[in-house]
Structure 1
Amino acid sequence: MGGNAPKGFLTDQCASMKRALEACMPTTVHRWCIWHIMKKIPSKLNGYKGHADIEQEMSQVIWNSHSKDSFDRNWNDFLLNFGLADNKWLSVYVWVYYADLYEHRHIWVPIYLDHHFWAGMRSTQRSESMHSFFNKYITQNSSFIQFVKQYDNCLRSREQAERESDAADFHTVIPCATKSSIEAQFQDAYTHAKFREVQAQLRGYSVYEVGEQVSSSIFNKFVVTYDSVAAKVKCQCLLFESRGILCRHALSVLSFEQVSQVSPRYILERWSKKVKRRHTHIKSSHDEPLMEPRSKRFDQLVFRSQNICEFASESEELTAILHRAYDNVIAEMESLKAKRKGTSSLSHENANLESVNELQSTPRIRTRGRPKNRLGSKLDKQITNATKKKKTRVLSEVKVMFFKFVAIEFIFLVNSLANV
C-alpha cells in the first residue's frame, strides 16, 4: 500500500474487525457487506405475517432512498406501517440493545456511502469469487511445495486471461447502441467490459424527462446539477462518485444541453483500454528464477522512460527529438540482436542453475488442539479388535455353511442322475 491506509474496507458484520479498523485505520471508510445483511432478512422476519411484503418494502427503502433524510423518513414509515417499531433488529430506538441495523446505517446503507469511490463493490462476494478461482488450483490438503507451484500457475492463468482481454479490446469493436457522440467517445476509450456498463446507462437515459422542475409526483425525481462553464455534471444518485460511470440521469441532461463530448474528468484512466498494467510483466520466482533480473531491468526502464516522456511532451520540438532517438535506439538494438542470433537473448547474470535450491515441503508437525482423530484408549482398541474377530468368525461360518449347502446340492444332483 506504499505506507498508506486503504481508502475503503469491506467486511461482514464483525464487531471485532470494526473496532480494529477504527483503531488502526481511522481515515479508512469501513463498509459492511450489504449482501450478508439482505441475506439475513428472511430468517429475521420469517415469523411475521406477510413477511414477503415486509422484505420487499425494506428493499425499496434501502435501494430507492436518494438522500439521508429520505432514508430516515422512509425507514420510520416502514416500521410504523408494518408494526416493527419494537423489532430488536430493525428498531430506530437506541435504548434497544440490539438496535443494530439502524444505528450503524452509516456503514451499510448505500446513500450514506456512495459519495465515496468503491469501483462498484458493495459486497464481499468479489473476494469469495476469488476464493473459488484459487480453489481450482489449491486444496486444503495441498503441501507447501504444491501451493507455491500452483500459485504460480494461478498467476500465469490470470495474466493470460488479461492478455486475451486486452487483445479483444484493441482488435474488436462493440457497436454503439445509439447515435450519441458521447457513446462513441467512451467506445474509443474504455475496455469492452466497462463500455458495456456505460451502454446500459445510455440505453436508459431516453426514458427520462429533463426540466427545471417535474410537476407530477408519480415520477422519481433525480436532481442533476450541470455547470456548462466548468463542464461539470453531478447527479443525486451518486453513480459516478461511487462507481466511476456517468448515470443515465446525467447523460439525459448532457443530451438535453446538446453536449457532444464529456469532460476528460469523467473518463477514468483505470477503465481505459490503453492502460499498461505493470503486474503483467512480473514473472514466477519459482518456475523461472532467471527472469527476476529482467523484471528489475524492465521496472528501471519504465521509470526512466516515463520521466523522459513527460519532459518531451512539453513541446513538439522535444517530442520530435525523442522520436528520432527512439528510431536510432531501436535500429541499434535490432542490429545487436541480429549479431547474437542463435544465442539466448536473456542475460543470465552469471547465474548457475545448479546453485538454485530446490524448494522442499516443510516437515509435518503436530498442531495445537485436539487432533481430528482421537487417540483410542486401551479399552477402545480391545473392543475394536474383538469386533473385527467376531466379524471374521461370522464370515467364516457363513462360508462353511455355503460350501456345505453346495456339497449337499451336488450329492443330490449326482444321486438323481444315477437313478435316471
Structure 2
Amino acid sequence: MTFTTLEDVEKFYRNYAKAAGFSTRVRSTNRKGNKIKNQSITCSREGKWKSKIFPTEKTNPTASLNCPARIYIYTLKDVGAWIISKVVLDHSHPCCPSKAEMLKQHRKLSMSIRRTIENNEEAGIRPSKTYQSFVVAAGGRRELNFIENDVRNYITREVHSFDRNWNEFLLNFGLVDNKWLSDLYEDRHIWVPIYLDHNFWTGMRSTQRSESMHSFFNKFITQNSSLIQFVKKYDNCLRSREQAERESDAADFYTVIPCATKSSIEAQFQDMYTHQKFREVQAQLRGKANCITRLTNSALGYSVYEVGEQVSSSIFNKFVVTYDSVAADVKCQGLLFESRGILCRHALSVLSFEQVSQVSPRYILERWSKKVKRRHTHIKSSHNEPLLEPRSKRFDELVFRSQNVCEFASESKELTVILHRVYGTVMVEMKELKAKRKGTSSLSHEDANLESVNELQSPPRI
C-alpha cells in the first residue's frame, strides 16, 4: 500500500487498530539527517516488562505482552511516497473492538472541549461537573470519545491520598501525639468487627452505609436537594456507576499487573482476578514474608500449623492454620477468606510450606474474576437515550458537528474564509426555505380551519 505522507500511514494504522480492538505506538525510527527513512509501528502491547528491583513491588498494570503485531514502512527516494513493506496481523492477546474506545490512544479532547475545560477551571467548576456537562450535551457517556480522567489530567489537578489527608487532619487539630488515633491509623485495614468474620461480606464493613452510599451520592446531590432533584440525579448516579464498570472492564482486559514474586499461585490469581482484587492478593503475598510457619501435628494427610506473624520488632501474633492435602482445603483461624473471599498471608504461608503450586478452584471466586459474565449487562439500558424535544435534539447534534468544522477551519486563514463564505450561502438558503414553508403552512392552517368548520356543521355518520 502507498501513502502520500507518514502521517497518512500512521492515521490509517491507527484507524485499523481501533476497528480491530487494540492501540499502536511507534517502535523504532531510522533517519538520514533530519529526514525519516523508515519506521516500525507496533501494537502497544509489544515488548515485555522487566523489574529493575527484586522482589518486585510494582502493582500498577502493564500492557506489555510480547505482541508481534506490527507494520514496517519506508519512503521511496525519488517519489517521496510511503510504502508498507511488511505486515504482521497476529496478536499474542485477545482484541475487543467494543472496548477499544477506552484505550488512551483512541480518546481525544477536541479544541472546543479543551476550551470549555479551561474556562470551567477558571470559574472554579469541579472536573466531575465539567464532565457531566459534556455527558448531558452529548446525550450519554458512550457518545464521548474521552473519559472523566482525561478531563482531570488535562488540568493536572493533584490527587490527595488518604495518608496526606490523614496527616493534615492531625496537624490542623493538634492530634499528632494522640495515641488512640495513632493506633486507629495503624489498624485501618481491619476496621471490621471480629464477630462478623465467620460470615461472607465481600469486603463490606459495618460503616458501609456512611462510607460508601453517602460518598457515592454526595457527588450528585446535597442535603438541600429536593425530591424532584434527587429523582433526576439518581439517573446520573446509575450512569456514573455503569461507566466506571465499563472502564474497569477495559483496564482488566487490556493490561496486566506484573507478579511481585515467582509464585505460581500468584500467577494463577493474576490470570483470573480483576486488578482490584489481584492487588489485595499481592498484599497478602507480600505480608507472607513476615510469617514463620511451624508444623505442630500431622496425621493421614491432615496437618495443623502454627503461623507466627511479626507485627513489630518484639510482637508476634500466632494463628492456627489447618491443611487437608486430600481435599486440598486450607483454613486459617483469622477467617479472612470466609469473610472477604481472599486467602490470607497465613494460609498462603502454609501452602508454600506444603509446596502447593495451584490453589483449589474453590478459593478463586467467580465474583472477583475478570471473565465473569454479568447478567445485567445484557439488559438494554435507557440511560443513554435521554428524552429530548425534537428541536433540542437537533440543536445538540448541530452544535457538536459544528465544533468539529470550526476546529478544522481554524487551522488556517484560507479555511476560515471558505467557512464564512459557505456559512453565508447556507444561511440565505435556509431563510428562503423557512419563508417558503411559512407561506405554505399559513395556507394549510386556513384549509384546516375550513375543514374543521365543515366537519362540525356536517359531522360524519357512523
Normalised to the residue count of structure 1, the TM-score between the two structures is 0.41
Q: Higher strand fraction: Structure 1 or Structure 2?
A: 2
Larger CA Rg, structure 1 vs 2:
1
Normalised to the residue count of structure 2, the TM-score between the two structures is 0.38
